[in-house]
Structure 1
Amino acid sequence: MKNKYFQFLACILIAVLSIPTIVFGQKKQKPNVIFIYADDVGYGDLSSYGATKISTPNIDRLAKEGIRFTNAHATSATCTPSRFALMTGKYPWRQKGTGVLPGDASLIIPTENLTLPKVFQDAGYKTASVGKWHLGLGENNKQINWNKPINKGPNETGFDYAFFFPATSDRVPTVFIENHDVLGLDREDPIEVDYSKKIGNEPTGKENPELLKLPASPNHGHNNTIVNGIGRIGWMTGGKQARWTDEEIAHVFLSKAEQFIEQNSKNPFFLYFSLNDIHVPRMPSTQFKGKSSMGLRGDVILQMDWTVGEILKKLDELKIADNTLLIFSSDNGPVIDDGYADKAVELSKGHKAAGALRGGKYSAFEGGSRVPWLARWPQAIKPGTESDALICQIDLMASFSHFFQQKIGIDDGVDSYNVMDAMLGKTKTGRTFLVKQGGALSLTQGTWKYIEPREGKAIQELTNTETGNNPKPQLYDLSKDLGEKTNLADKYPAKVKAMSAELERIRDGGRSR
């Protein structure tokens, strides 16, 4: 009898202990996170941001089913520094060598420090980087041997899996790398790369322009080794079997991204999906050639939108959409002519790639680094939300560290702030300030923007972009003058003095008060 009595009590105890799980529900799984990082997509390039000459329905879904930001930023007006800030939580101008990198550059992310993917790894996530990398590879100041496993790259910065190309599609080497190895490498045809002098006997755009299917714009440097009928920056020899076909890049990257999502659909994952489409040379697949009214640049915008749609379909197919936070943004503002004679300038008439903003890629004006930012997480973000909160990609590290209740070391993410509530639409209060880099540094505080004095050309002739360079200080009230047309520096000298002093204090290593 006693044994039966104790067995009965044991059953009751087990049932009571199970009540929190059964009645109140199990603890929610951590959300999957996908960060889709577009290349050179401007504030006005999407129909959800006002474009009328082109339609991006799949990206627009993120706005309809999630949140659209109007005051979101990359740290910089070019790609490498923006990506460095995203990964490290540190302003790129604090570290030498973070400018736009050649294809044979050393890895610039310190592997001993915390990075964004390491934050996810520490939270138990599987992590992957698929797409453009452009943050260097290999040991500092050591020449990369492309014919052996590359010992330092995305994997060493926190990614469990990586499928990428080294720099940009207009730079050699034009090969895919999976984790540490060049894909399709033929040991009998070794790869060599040089950015200082011509190597080998392969045709170049300069010497053999008749071989080009996409002519280069003058003086941009896209006239070196020809790969797939396109002149590149830098010289390359060997690796014929390993070289990509530009028209296939988007499909290859999408396939690898979908494969990672499928393999990790049962456990939390972080996917950094860095698209190539709009960056030159613009070479859409046959599926999208001639599908827009804006030539090749319009066609690759449609291809990019399709890619986002395929990711959304995959999430639905795997029934993980509800618990996936998907963020779409861009590494810098737009550029129309960036080195190839693809008629983008002529065919883009009527389309404002930067919207109402002044400048574009390479510029200190808002068009250089104010970018689209849309996010969807059905379990947490209210559909159709709009926000003017000041947020920046550099803040992802601190935001997710806080979300996972992790502590950040004193030397890690020094410029990153927790803006998770703003990112999820719970508040419209984001950062109180932001320093951005577009040649000259600028400081935004509230609605005021100060651009430091800088000598140099006001117009970058190669791209016809306003640089923001001015030997005198510039001050704009963005609440009334988003296009930065009226310089108020002379009218508000005290404001200029205060913001200049604050910028110097931050530049010297301080965080904003």
Structure 2
Amino acid sequence: MNTLRLSIAILAICAFTSVTKADDRLNFLVIMCDDLGYGDLECYGHPSIRTPNLNKLADEGVRFTSYYSAAPVCSPSRAGLITGQTPTQVGVYDWIPGGSPMHVRAEEVTLPRLLKSVGYETGLFGKWHCNGKFNSPDQPQPNDLGFDYWFATQNNAGPSHENPTNFVRNGKRVGPTQGFSCQVVADEAIHWLSEVHDDDKPFFALVTFHEPHEPIASPDELVKTYPDAEKKGEALYYANVTNMDQAVGKLMAKVDELNLRDNTLVVFTSDNGPETLNRYKNAWRSHGSPGPLRGMKLHIYDGGIRVPGIARLPGKIEAGVESDLPVCSLDLLPTFSELAGAEIPAGTKLDGTSLAKMLDGETVKREKPLFWHYYRAFGDSKVAVRDGDWKLVALWDQGNVSPGSAYKKGDYSLIKDVKFTDFELYNLTEDIGETKDLKEQHPEIAARLKKALLAKYDEATANAIDWFAERN
């Protein structure tokens, strides 16, 4: 029996036996980094970056080697996590610049709302990036989507990670803060856990670090610990990841100090793959690594969507487990909801699968493959599905578009009216770098996955929102 399956079965059994007592239910702590690559952590094989706290977290739980984000770019990835749906399906197609009409709508089913409905307290700490009109009554804010307490920025920490000035706490601007963003965010989450959160209630905390997204700033004392980094900006990047690791360590220490360790399911991950060096003027410090994967941020290949994924629940998830089971941030909503006893409204088109259903060591059975769509991905590859070992990538007929330039007028047709001209099939277990297209050798698998891909694409785009038409 797969050790992970047994561990999660034990986790689910323990949760369900006490689901009627709120103070005995699991707490949920999700930590998400920004642009952290699959190969950026020491425990994922980086030869230089030191991440002792995340190494420890992996040693205490499960380290997923096939953990996926919901999208290869920030806003859709975050929208997918909180809704459990393919981001295209909820109308979040690309990163959201300030002032954009695009946002997660108030009518969407969200993870914090579901958990609140069964007595959880909910908190958001860090990068939000699920609306363009941040801290404005014109669009839903974190509290409108289920967060009781929020300390957040619309997009990146500004003017950089050092002493950011753009945080908002529960609708009120905070002003200048002292320190580096990940430490500021961790300190706020610690304050909430220690001083604000009602100890008689279970909690859901979403901690979304800005690191290591540009514009990067790192403590000098950590930069100096990487004297062998020779490329411009390389030591800054390495120190940035190490600083984030220290913030994780601080947060985990507080969880232990508050005696929350054994009843808190911790999930650590990233919103997408690493930024491409020098893609834009300020990206000169972006030395992230996709490890052995093809592509990086903004790619539909695995370098854009396969990310670090670590989960810990002492005594329930066996320590030191490594699993290649394909899982995704879309799975968090159905998993947490089931463990908490929250009922998902009928008709909700979830794309994630509940991992809590692995009772008695049963294998996770997805009703449909994992699915990704990003219309501004690098190259012609815009859509993909993964089912078990197999991944199918779809190439479109629209030629090149500027990657990562945000949704704008005229883009609606690129979401609704495209055709796919070719497909690529990869066996990710045998070919993690997606180098060998096997559609000619396995036409039956390619045909099956093509049918699933096109059906899901049609479903995801059926009610696509033209945000500029709505605004006008």
TM bracket (short chain): 0.7 to 0.9
Q: Whose helix proportion is higher, 1 or 2?
A: 2
Counterpart residue identity of residue 364, structure 2? T
Residue aligning to 1:429 = 364
Kept after mapping to 1: 8 A contact 2:215/2:282? no
The 10-residue stretch of structure 1 (436-445 or 26-35) with the greater mean CA deviation from structure 2 = 26-35
From 152, 156, 175, the counterpart of 1:168: 156
From 304, 319, 324, the counterpart of 1:388: 324
Kept after mapping to 2: 8 A contact 1:34/1:324? yes
Matches within 5 A, 1:133-282: 133-136=128-131, 138=133, 152-169=140-157, 175-183=166-174, 242=175, 248-263=180-195, 264=197, 266-267=199-200, 268-282=202-216
Percent of residue pairs bearing the same amino acid type = 30
For 1:458 and 1:492, how far apart are their aligned partners in 2? Answer: 31
Instruction: Verify: 1:399 aligned to 2:331, yes or no.
Output: no
Instruction: Verify: 1:365 aligned to 2:301, yes or no.
Output: yes
Counterpart residue identity of residue 284, structure 1? S
TM-fit CA distance, 1:174: 5.7
Residue aligning to 2:438 = 488
Counterpart residue identity of residue 275, structure 1? F
Matches within 5 A, 1:437-476: 437-438=373-374, 439=377, 440-455=382-397, 456=399, 472-476=422-426
After superposition, the C-alpha distances for 1:261-282 in whole angstroms (9 at most, x for unaligned) are 1132723111100001100011
Counterpart residue identity of residue 280, structure 2? G
For 2:325 and 2:426, how far apart are their aligned partners in 1? Answer: 18
TM-fit CA distance, 1:133: 0.5
Residue aligning to 1:289 = 223
After superposition, the C-alpha distances for 1:346-387 in whole angstroms (9 at most, x for unaligned) are xx5xxx711111111000111110111101111311111121
For 2:138 and 2:452, how far apart are their aligned partners in 1? Answer: 42
Instruction: Verify: 1:33 aligned to 2:21, yes or no.
Output: no
Residue aligning to 1:231 = none
Instruction: Verify: 1:117 aligned to 2:116, yes or no.
Output: no
Residue aligning to 2:280 = 339
Size of the aligned set, in residue pairs, is 408
Q: 1:91 to 1:461 in 2, by over 3 A?
A: closer
1:415 aligned counterpart, secondary structure: coil
Kept after mapping to 1: 8 A contact 2:182/2:211? yes
Counterpart residue identity of residue 57, structure 1? P
From 427, 434, 440, the counterpart of 1:477: 427
For 1:343 and 1:134, how far apart are their aligned partners in 2? Answer: 23
Kept after mapping to 2: 8 A contact 1:334/1:360? yes
Counterpart residue identity of residue 39, structure 2? G
After superposition, the C-alpha distances for 1:170-211 in whole angstroms (9 at most, x for unaligned) are 68996111111222xxxxxxxxxxxxxxxxxxxxxxxxxxxx
Residue aligning to 1:44 = 39
Q: 1:111 to 1:436 in 2, by over 3 A?
A: same
Structure ranking higher on relative contact order (CA contacts 8 Å, 6+ apart): 2
Kept after mapping to 1: 8 A contact 2:62/2:320? yes
Kept after mapping to 2: 8 A contact 1:278/1:301? yes
Instruction: Verify: 1:500 aligned to 2:450, yes or no.
Output: yes
After superposition, the C-alpha distances for 1:319-357 in whole angstroms (9 at most, x for unaligned) are 221111111011101124253457546xx5xxx711111
Counterpart residue identity of residue 419, structure 1? L
Which has the larger Rg?
1
Kept after mapping to 2: 8 A contact 1:453/1:473? yes
Counterpart residue identity of residue 182, structure 2? A
Tell me, which stretches of 5 or more residues in structure 1 are unaligned? Answer: 1-23, 139-143, 184-241, 463-469
Counterpart residue identity of residue 327, structure 1? V
Normalization by structure 2: what TM-score? 0.79
Kept after mapping to 1: 8 A contact 2:294/2:434? yes
Kept after mapping to 1: 8 A contact 2:112/2:204? yes
Q: 1:132 to 1:494 in 2, by over 3 A?
A: same
For 2:182 and 2:109, how far apart are their aligned partners in 1? Answer: 30
Residue aligning to 2:414 = none
After superposition, the C-alpha distances for 1:276-327 in whole angstroms (9 at most, x for unaligned) are 1100011123453333344111010001100110011111222221111111
For 1:382 and 1:402, how far apart are their aligned partners in 2? Answer: 21
Q: 1:488 to 1:170 in 2, by over 3 A?
A: farther
Q: 1:95 to 1:270 in 2, by over 3 A?
A: closer
Normalization by structure 1: what TM-score? 0.73
For 1:491 and 1:366, how far apart are their aligned partners in 2? Answer: 21
Counterpart residue identity of residue 325, structure 1? L
For 1:437 and 1:53, how far apart are their aligned partners in 2? Answer: 33
1:508 aligned counterpart, secondary structure: helix
After superposition, the C-alpha distances for 1:74-97 in whole angstroms (9 at most, x for unaligned) are 121001001111111111122434
